Amino acid sequence: MATRKTAKLAAGLMAGALLFGVTACSGSSDDSADATGKVYYLNFKPEQADDWVALAKAYTEETGVQVDVQTAASGTYETTLKSEMAKSEAPTLFQVNGPVGLQTWKDYAADLSDTEVYAQLNDQSIALTNDDGNPVAIPYVMETYGIIYNKAILEDYIATDGAKITSADEITSFDTLKSVVEDIQAKKDDLGIDGAFTSAGFDSSSDWRFKTHLANIPLYYEYKADGIVGQPESIKGTYLDGFKNIFDLYISNSTTEPSLLSGKTIDDANSEFALGKAVFYQNGTWAYNDIKDQKVDDADMGMLPIYIGADGEENQGLTTGSENYWVVNSEASEADQKATKDFLNWVISSDTGRDTLTNTMGFVTPFKTFADYESSNPLVQADAAYTAAGKTAVTWNFTTMPSEEWKNTLGQAMLAYAQGTGDWDAVRATFVDNWATEVELSNQG
């Protein structure tokens, strides 16, 4: 009798232990309300992942505040952010990519008006505000894009018979650019290159250069002509002919057959430029890390504005703006929010932080505290040269594009046009008609 009871008891205990084990796994860990607070940064830029971890470690060593940095893999930021924000240990600091991105996360954006990062902005109007007009998203890096070019090959070209220009400075309009590009393409064998432009790849690693960055140029001119600020309900597509011109130039004077574009990646374009197989490459200052230390010397890298044949484009500079905004999670505990703001303050004011941002990460920042820090990136210097010459920088208006979906549809229509399976009317339709549709859809509910 006694043995049966013992066996029963043992079995009961074992089953109980199992049950306990299972429930313990699902238990939440809300007991970590640390008075000092801690920082959890979900970083957007994979190319700087290690740099942020090192920076966080330096801060922890200096102040004892715990800083965790996670980096989402390329192209998965929104996905990662969505699942991380649902956790009890959500990021205290994350990024949005502009007004449209902020719209998604506005319920999680804390007021930053009392922070140092806002106070130290060179131009406080570039911070994004919430419905009450309080700054909630602070850009921390200014970036520039245009047509990167290889000065050495361009000089070789200028030395050939019948060259259309005598100096790169003469390229100040679409017409000049077009005549130079077409001439280079015709002489590509003499110059020892595969084409004037790198491949306009439409793989998802590369298509943002066109559906977003290139599409910004006609948008910029339209906004300027119509005096538009913010996101319009609909657009007219006044400058789409210029958009077609520049895109035609890209796809018909490149290293690649247009029918192969759907599979070409950003790595293809990087290597074509870095190995000197193409002269022109539409990309931005961030591409420097991928193209440096190979065949093209830093001194041979220049950047041209993207011309589309609009009036007054002789004074057009490079395209400069930001889509990297810091947002502090308003759902995080008070202590964590404070710790996060202190961390940001340290990043932009300490020597370690400033040195890392400028020299290690190669950023141009919009803060006053960085006045004595100058970037060694030749593409950044090219931008500074244009600004010094009094050219007007083109602003980043693509942050007002209605949705990712709008960009994707446009990109795919452009690809269909490039490879000959679709026509330009479809591109125009996705650009203009789909704008209104997507604005309406995105603001629904």
Partner 1 sequence: MYRSLKRWWWLFTGPTIAAFIIGFVAPFALGVYLSFTKFTTVTKSRWVGLDNYARLLSDDTFLHSLWYTAAFALVTTVVINVVAFAVAYMLVKKFKGSNLYRSVFFMPNLIGGIVLGYVWLLLLNGILGHWARSITYSATYGFWGLVILVCWQQIGYMMVIYIAGLQSIPGELIESAEVDGATPRQTLRSVIIPLVMPSITVCTFLTITNGFKLFDQNLALTNGAPSRQSELLALNIYNTFYGRTGFEGVGQAKAVIFLIIVAAISLLQNRFARSKEA
CA distance 168 to 303: 10
Least distance in angstroms from the C-beta of 291 to partner 1: 24
- Residue 254-293 contact track with partner 1, rule CB under 8 A, x = bound: ---x-xx-xx------------------------------
List the one residue from 11, 73, 119, 225 that touches partner 1 (CB under 8 A). 11
The answer to whether residue 8 forms part of the interface with partner 1 (CB under 8 A) is: yes
The answer to whether residue 74 forms part of the interface with partner 1 (CB under 8 A) is: no
Least distance in angstroms from the C-beta of 103 to partner 1: 7
The answer to whether residue 445 forms part of the interface with partner 1 (CB under 8 A) is: yes
Q: Is residue 123 classed as helix, strand or coil in its secondary structure?
A: coil
Where helices occur in 106-195 by DSSP H, the ranges are: 116-119, 151-158, 174-186, 188-191
List the one residue from 172, 352, 404, 436 that touches partner 1 (CB under 8 A). 404
The answer to whether residue 412 forms part of the interface with partner 1 (CB under 8 A) is: yes
The answer to whether residue 27 forms part of the interface with partner 1 (CB under 8 A) is: no
* 161-220 binders of partner 1 (CB under 8 A): 202-204
Least distance in angstroms from the C-beta of 432 to partner 1: 17
* 323-342 binders of partner 1 (CB under 8 A): none
> Which range of residues in 29-37, 62-70, 176-184, 402-410 is near partner 1 by CB under 8 A?
402-410
List the one residue from 10, 19, 33, 389 that touches partner 1 (CB under 8 A). 19
- Residue pointed to by tokens 């269909």: 416
Measured from the CB atom, is 22 or 371 closer to partner 1?
22
The answer to whether residue 104 forms part of the interface with partner 1 (CB under 8 A) is: yes
Least distance in angstroms from the C-beta of 262 to partner 1: 4
The answer to whether residue 160 forms part of the interface with partner 1 (CB under 8 A) is: no
Least distance in angstroms from the C-beta of 371 to partner 1: 37
Measured from the CB atom, is 79 or 234 closer to partner 1?
79
Residue whose C-alpha is closest to residue 93's, from 323, 335, 336: 336
List the one residue from 152, 419, 428, 432 that touches partner 1 (CB under 8 A). 419
CA distance 143 to 257: 30
List the one residue from 415, 427, 434, 435 that touches partner 1 (CB under 8 A). 415
Measured from the CB atom, is 204 or 376 closer to partner 1?
204
Contact yes or no for 256/277 (Cβ under 8 A)? no
The answer to whether residue 389 forms part of the interface with partner 1 (CB under 8 A) is: no
Count of alpha carbons within 13 angstroms of residue 195, beta-carbon side: 18
CA distance 144 to 170: 21
The answer to whether residue 10 forms part of the interface with partner 1 (CB under 8 A) is: no
The Cβ of residue 198 has, within 10 Å, a number of other Cβ atoms equal to 30
List the one residue from 15, 73, 225, 389 that touches partner 1 (CB under 8 A). 15
CA distance 120 to 370: 10
Residues 6+ apart with CB under 8 A from 55: 69, 347, 352, 353, 356
Measured from the CB atom, is 19 or 389 closer to partner 1?
19
Contact yes or no for 272/281 (Cβ under 8 A)? yes
**Which residues are paired to 129 by β-bridges?**
135
Contact yes or no for 327/93 (Cβ under 8 A)? yes
Distances (CA, A) of 161 to 158, 164, 166: 8, 9, 11
Measured from the CB atom, is 59 or 406 closer to partner 1?
406
Q: What spatial distance separates the first Cα and last Cα of the chain, rounded to whole Å?
A: 68
How many chain residues bind partner 1 (CB under 8 A)?
A: 46
List the one residue from 103, 130, 134, 333 that touches partner 1 (CB under 8 A). 103
Burial of 24 (0-12, 13-18, 19+ CB in 10 A): exposed
**Which residues are paired to 40 by β-bridges?**
68
Residue whose C-alpha is closest to residue 205's, from 145, 262, 246: 262
Burial of 135 (0-12, 13-18, 19+ CB in 10 A): buried
Distances (CA, A) of 103 to 108, 402, 405, 431, 441: 10, 11, 15, 21, 13
Least distance in angstroms from the C-beta of 5 to partner 1: 10
List the one residue from 175, 248, 342, 405 that touches partner 1 (CB under 8 A). 405
Q: Which residues bind partner 1 (CB under 8 A)?
A: 8, 11-12, 15-16, 18-19, 21-23, 25-26, 78-79, 82, 85-86, 100-101, 103-105, 107, 202-204, 257, 259-260, 262-263, 403-405, 408-409, 412-413, 415-416, 419, 421, 441-442, 444-445
